[in-house]
A and B are shown apart, each in its own frame.
Chain A
Amino acid sequence: EPEVTQTPSHQVTQMGQEVILRCVPISNHLYFYWYRQILGQKVEFLVSFYNNEISEKSEIFDDQFSVERPDGSNFTLKIRSTKLEDSAMYFCASTGTSGRLAYEQYFGPGTRLTVT
C-alpha cells in the first residue's frame, strides 16, 4: 500500500539554526500539507500546497517558514531560524483531491523537532 514517508524521524537543533524537514508524498497525489502538533496540544494546520504553489497558510506559517517541491517527489518544510516554540511533531500529508471533493488524507509518520 502506498505511504507517505518523512525524514528524519527526530531532529534536534539549536535555537537560531535552519532545519529542513522532508516528506515524500504518495506519487499521484495532488494536494500536500504540513501540520504540526506541539506536545500535549491538538494538531494544527500550517500550510497547503497545490500545483507548485501555496494554496493556503495559517497564521503560524510566518516568514520563517517556507515550503517547496524541488523535484516532483519531495515536499520540504524549511524553518529558517528555529525558536524554542517550534519544538513539535511535524506531519506531512497528501491527498488525491481535486479540491472539490473531500478525499482521505494520508499522513506521514511525523518528524519530532526538538529545539534547544
Chain B
Amino acid sequence: KAGVTQTPRYLIKTRGQQVTLSCSPISGHRSVSWYQQTPGQGLQFLFEYFSETQRNKGNFPGRFSGRQFSNSRSEMNVSTLELGDSALYLCASSSDSLGGYGYTFGSGTRLTVV
C-alpha cells in the first residue's frame, strides 16, 4: 500500500513569488491535513480537508490556502512568499471521518525562500 506522497521534495523560490505543493494521500483516505514545521515553532497546523471541504483551519495568514480534489489529492498554495515561509511542509492523511487520529505523514516538501 503506497504511503502519502508529497511533491516536490525540495523547492527554492524567490521572495514575492507563489508556490503550489502537492499531496497524494493513502488510497481510501479522505482526510488530508497540512502542517508547517520550523525549528523554532515545531509542527503547526495549517488546514484540514475532508471530502473536498475545508473542515478546520489553523492560525495562518490568508496567503496560505489549500484545496482538495474529488480523488482526495490535495494542494496547498502560498502566495507572495516571505523569507519566514521557509520550512518543511508536511501533509498527513487519515481514513478517520471524525478527525483526530490515524494520521500518516508524508516525507514533506522542503521550501526555501531566498
Tell me if chain B binds chain A.
Answer: no
Which residues of B pack against A, CB within 8 Å?
none
